[in-house]
């Protein structure tokens, strides 16, 4: 399973890319607004840090304007993925961009029917928003299950399922069990994946027992080296 990070915060991206776990980045207009930067610079800076796909979303809502914005965004770097909303104009834009071999992430997906349409127009990625479905009393992960099932019936659909609007580690585990291709994680959730209280407690016990021995692996190695000289 691939891990993308859902942020436009360069410090977070830099910090988490050092873990070697990041396969890509997703942004949206709200995240760009939160970063305080201009979208062209922010996306260029992210692309300097990450070699995997970086989603940059168009903000126009009509086909011609979406195409013009997509052209500008796709010229920023070769790894830019154009993000379009799941609307009629968004899917028209997706189809044309895919014919030009430009990668497209279709976002704001809330139903299996919408995911099927995105698959039909050759989207590179479909982004179902699981957290926002949970927020209104639904079960976001049921949608992932349905999309995995539908796409698996049609080998000609190459669209990758990018689970978005992830709120907690359980979303990630459920998505992995279902075989979703990618999760895009807020930095906080990625950090939560590392954590387990028994890891912390176990490490603390090991270290306090170790301290009692008075040993240091590096000092012992140094002593050995000197003795052999």
Least distance between ligand G3P and beta carbon 160 (Å): 15
Of 164 and 172, the one with the shorter C-beta distance to ligand G3P is 164
Give me the catalytic one of 83, 92, 225, 226. 83
28 binds ligand G3P per the rule CB under 6 A: yes
Which range binds ligand G3P by CB under 6 A, 41-49, 115-123, 126-134, 194-202?
126-134
Binding ligand G3P by CB under 6 A: which of 66, 183, 184, 190?
184
Q: Write out the binding residues for ligand G3P, residues 62-91 only, by CB under 6 A.
A: none
Binding ligand G3P by CB under 6 A: which of 4, 5, 26, 54?
26
95 binds ligand G3P per the rule CB under 6 A: no
Cα 179 to Cα 80, 103, 176, 203: the distances in Å are: 25, 22, 5, 32
Instruction: Tally Cβ neighbours within 10 Å of residue 10.
Output: 15
Annotation says 83 is catalytic: yes
Please tell me the distance from the alpha carbon of residue 186 to that of residue 89, in angstroms, as a whole number: 28
The secondary structure of residue 106, as a DSSP letter, is E
125 binds ligand G3P per the rule CB under 6 A: no
Q: Write out the binding residues for ligand G3P, residues 131-150 only, by CB under 6 A.
A: 131-132
Q: Write out the binding residues for ligand G3P, residues 209-228 only, by CB under 6 A.
A: none
Closest CA to 160 of 130, 190, 132, 119: 119
Residue 30's SS3 state is helix
Binding ligand G3P by CB under 6 A: which of 3, 6, 66, 144?
6
Task: Enter the tokens of residue 71.
Answer: 């052209």
**CA triple 130-131-133, angle to 5 deg:** 70
Cα 198 to Cα 105, 201, 202, 204: the distances in Å are: 38, 5, 6, 10
Binding ligand G3P by CB under 6 A: which of 3, 4, 125, 129?
129
**CA triple 36-55-108, angle to 5 deg:** 95
Binding site for ligand G3P (CB under 6 A): 6, 26, 28, 129, 131-132, 164-165, 184
Q: Which residues are designated catalytic?
A: 83
């Amino acid at each position: 399973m691939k891990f993308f990070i859902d942020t436009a915060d360069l410090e977070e991206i830099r910090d988490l890319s050092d873990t070697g776990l990041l396969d890509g980045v997703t942004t949206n207009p709200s995240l760009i607004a939160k970063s305080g930067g201009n979208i062209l610079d922010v996306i260029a800076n992210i692309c300097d840090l990450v070699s995997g796909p970086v989603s940059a979303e168009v903000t126009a809502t009509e086909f011609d304007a979406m195409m013009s914005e997509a052209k500008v965004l796709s010229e920023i770097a070769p790894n830019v993925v154009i993000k379009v909303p799941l609307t009629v104009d968004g899917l028209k834009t997706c189809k044309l961009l895919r014919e030009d071999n430009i990668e497209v992430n279709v976002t704001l997906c809330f139903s299996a029917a919408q995911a099927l349409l995105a698959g039909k127009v050759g989207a590179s990625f479909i982004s179902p928003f699981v957290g926002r479905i949970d927020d209104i009393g639904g079960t976001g992960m049921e949608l992932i299950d349905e999309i995995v099932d539908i796409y698996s019936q049609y080998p000609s659909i190459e669209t990758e399922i990018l689970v978005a609007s992830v709120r907690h580690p359980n979303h990630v585990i459920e998505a992995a069990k279902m075989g979703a291709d990618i999760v895009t994680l807020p930095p906080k959730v990625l950090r939560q994946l590392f954590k387990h209280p028994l890891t912390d407690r176990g490490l603390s016990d090991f270290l306090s027992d170790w301290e009692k021995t008075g040993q240091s692996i590096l000092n012992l190695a140094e002593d050995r080296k000197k003795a052999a000289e």
